[in-house]
Chains A and B, each alone.
Chain A
Amino acid sequence: MMRQDRDYEDVLRRALAAAAESIEPGGDGLQRIRHRLDSGRSPRSAFSGFAESLDLHGTRLLVRLDPLIEGARGALRRTGPLSRPLLALAGFIAGLFSQRGRRRVGGHRGRRGHASRPGRLGSAGAWLKPVFAASAAVAIVVVGVVILNHETGTLINPANNIGTASPGSRPSSSPTGGGRTASSKRWKLPLGISPTQPFTEPGQHGNVGSTMPAVACTATPKPAAKKTAPAGKATTTPTPTVSGTATGTPTPQPSDTNIPTPTPTNTWDSGGTATATTAAMSIPYHAGAPAVVECGTTPKTKTTKTTKTPTLAPTSTQTP
Chain B
Amino acid sequence: MTHAVEWDADRAVTAIYTDHYRSLVRLAAFLVRDTSTAEEVVQDSFVAMHGAWRRLRDTDKALSYLRQSVVNRSRSVLRHRMVVDKNTPKPPPDMPSAEHGAIIQLERSAVVSALRSLPERQREALVLRYYGDLSEAQIASVMGISRGAVKSHTARAMSALRAVLERDS
A-B pairs with lowest CB-CB distance, top 8: A15-B111, A25-B25, A20-B26, A16-B131, A116-B1, A13-B130, A19-B112, A33-B46
With a cutoff of 8 Å between Cβ atoms, the chain A residues found around residue B51 in the complex are 40
Q: CA of A13 to CA of B13 in the docked complex: distance in angstroms? A: 28
With contact pairs A23-B26, A32-B43 given, residues A12 and B130 touching in the complex (Cβ less than 8 Å):
yes
With contact pairs A16-B30, A123-B1 given, residues A33 and B43 touching in the complex (Cβ less than 8 Å):
yes
Are the CB atoms of B162 and A8 closer together than 8 Å? yes
Q: For residues 68 through 117 of chain B, which have their beta carbon under 8 Å from a beta carbon of chain A?
A: 105-106, 108-112, 115
| B126 close to chain A: CB less than 8 A | yes
| A78 close to chain B: CB less than 8 A | no
| B158 close to chain A: CB less than 8 A | yes
| A173 close to chain B: CB less than 8 A | no
Size of interface on B: residues with Cβ below 8 Å to A: 42
Number of A-B contacts (CB under 8 A): 100
Size of interface on A: residues with Cβ below 8 Å to B: 31
Q: Across the two chains, which residue of chain B brings its CB closest to A39? A: B47
Are the CB atoms of B111 and A12 closer together than 8 Å? yes
Are the CB atoms of A23 and B1 closer together than 8 Å? no
Q: CA of A5 to CA of B158 in the docked complex: distance in angstroms? A: 8
B121-150 Cβ-contact flags toward A at 8 Å (1 or 0)? 000001100110000000000000000000
| A183 close to chain B: CB less than 8 A | no
Are the CB atoms of B39 and A29 closer together than 8 Å? yes
| B3 close to chain A: CB less than 8 A | yes
Q: CA of A40 to CA of B109 in the docked complex: distance in angstroms? A: 40
With a cutoff of 8 Å between Cβ atoms, the chain A residues found around residue B115 in the complex are 12, 16
Shortest CB-to-CB span from B105 to chain A, Å, is 5
Are the CB atoms of A23 and B2 closer together than 8 Å? no
Are the CB atoms of A23 and B109 closer together than 8 Å? no
The contact of B130 among A4, A9, A36, A48, by CB within 8 Å, is A9
6 further A-B contacts with Cβ under 8 Å, apart from A12-B115, A37-B47, are A8-B158, A15-B112, A25-B26, A29-B39, A37-B10, A112-B4
